[in-house]
């Protein structure tokens, strides 16, 4: 099957201009793509870039004033280093375990006890990563403050203690916000509103009441008497990606593009009639559990069987009838 270039954009190709880059932020412009692609990238950066986060907490001791669930929730929101997260398998796809192992998770231990009279604070730095793990980076708590303490987990008074085993797994923000790689993704196009996609509400003067963003300096302003171009489309998009620290902002963007490539490859695979499964050797990626086949196993006739197996359209009671025999119309089943 041939796939034509979209509006001639394939020949020109996308063009990216980096305006500002730091450890936790990347500000860049993108040209040579259409609005749907740019918005898809924005949504992917927010929700579908895989990272590591604490997903299971085994409480061995907790005599603090906070409930187990409260501390577990705080632990899940601590950013963990997700460099080379592709080395970590999704737990649902792991071939070596049913719940977690060294191939699909990272174990962190937390043990703190207050022995003094003053209140003791427990920080993210107190999380100790256990070996082995998929690589030397994943799972380490992200600590960016000047004192090297990290986020506060809880406070303990004299003789209070917490001892927990934390299991970090790979996931995406579409499943839970704790796997989000970004705190925000700024996105804008047409800062002068030449395309009139926005209809500003104003009292007297929209120019004074709606100040332009700093992106307006990168485009020519609308001239007085300039005719409206009904065929114009947005061609330049402004991104401002702010990472929470588990991935560098450039890595977030690259991972987002990779995820989009995988999803598009699956679409092309379906359109081309290729019936190969999208596993780890193909174009796989985040997905829901497969359907169940006869006997309670997974994988056959997804979406067309009941949990009782592939019975050829029959009910759990056998045959093609209702559990009470014939239908009210005297027939023994569906015709």
What kind and span of H or E run contains 148? none
For 100-104, 136-140, 212-216, 321-325, which range has the lowest pLDDT when averaged over its residues? 321-325
What are the beta bridge partners of residue 306?
A: 309
Provide mean pLDDT across the span 144-164: 95
Q: Are 14 and 31 a contacting pair, CB within 8 Å?
A: yes
Provide mean pLDDT across the span 163-190: 96
Q: 311 pLDDT exceeds 60?
A: no
Rounded mean pLDDT of the chain? 83
Q: Which residue in 311, 314, 288 sits closest to 299, CA to CA?
A: 288
Distance CA 160, CA 136 (A): 33
Q: Give residues with Cβ within 8 angstroms of 44, minimum separation 6.
A: 256, 259, 260
Distance of CA 222 to the CA centre of its chain: 38
Q: 286 pLDDT exceeds 80?
A: no
pLDDT at 172: 96
């Amino acid at each position: 099957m041939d796939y034509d270039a979209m509006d001639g954009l394939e020949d020109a190709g996308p063009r990216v201009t980096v305006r500002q880059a730091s450890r936790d932020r990347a500000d860049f412009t993108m040209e040579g793509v259409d609005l749907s692609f740019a918005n898809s990238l924005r949504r992917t950066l927010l929700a579908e870039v895989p990272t590591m986060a604490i997903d299971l907490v085994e409480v061995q001791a907790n005599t603090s004033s906070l409930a187990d669930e409260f501390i577990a929730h705080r632990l899940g929101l601590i950013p963990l280093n997700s460099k080379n997260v592709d080395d970590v398998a999704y737990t649902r796809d792991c071939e070596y375990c049913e719940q977690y192992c060294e191939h699909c998770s990272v174990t962190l231990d937390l043990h703190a006890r207050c022995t003094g009279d003053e209140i003791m604070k427990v920080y993210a730095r107190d999380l100790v990563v256990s070996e082995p793990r998929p690589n030397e980076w994943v799972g380490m708590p992200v600590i960016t403050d000047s004192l090297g303490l990290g986020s506060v987990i809880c406070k303990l008074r004299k003789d209070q203690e917490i001892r927990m085993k934390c299991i970090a797994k790979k996931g995406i923000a579409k499943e839970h916000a704790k796997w989000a790689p970004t705190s925000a993704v700024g996105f804008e196009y047409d800062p002068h509103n030449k395309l009139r996609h926005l209809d500003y509400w104003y009292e007297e003067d929209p120019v004074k009441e709606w100040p332009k963003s700093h992106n307006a300096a990168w485009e020519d302003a609308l001239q007085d008497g300039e005719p409206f171009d009904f065929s114009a489309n947005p061609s330049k998009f402004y991104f401002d990606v702010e990472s929470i620290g588990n991935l560098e902002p450039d890595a977030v963007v690259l991972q987002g593009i990779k995820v989009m490539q995988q999803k598009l490859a699956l679409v092309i695979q379906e359109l081309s009639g290729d019936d190969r499964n999208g596993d780890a050797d193909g174009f796989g990626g985040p997905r829901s559990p497969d359907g169940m086949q006869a006997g309670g196993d997974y994988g056959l006739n997804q979406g067309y069987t009941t949990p009782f197996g592939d019975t050829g359209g029959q009910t759990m009671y056998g045959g093609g009838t209702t559990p009470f025999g014939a239908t009210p119309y005297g027939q023994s089943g569906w015709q």
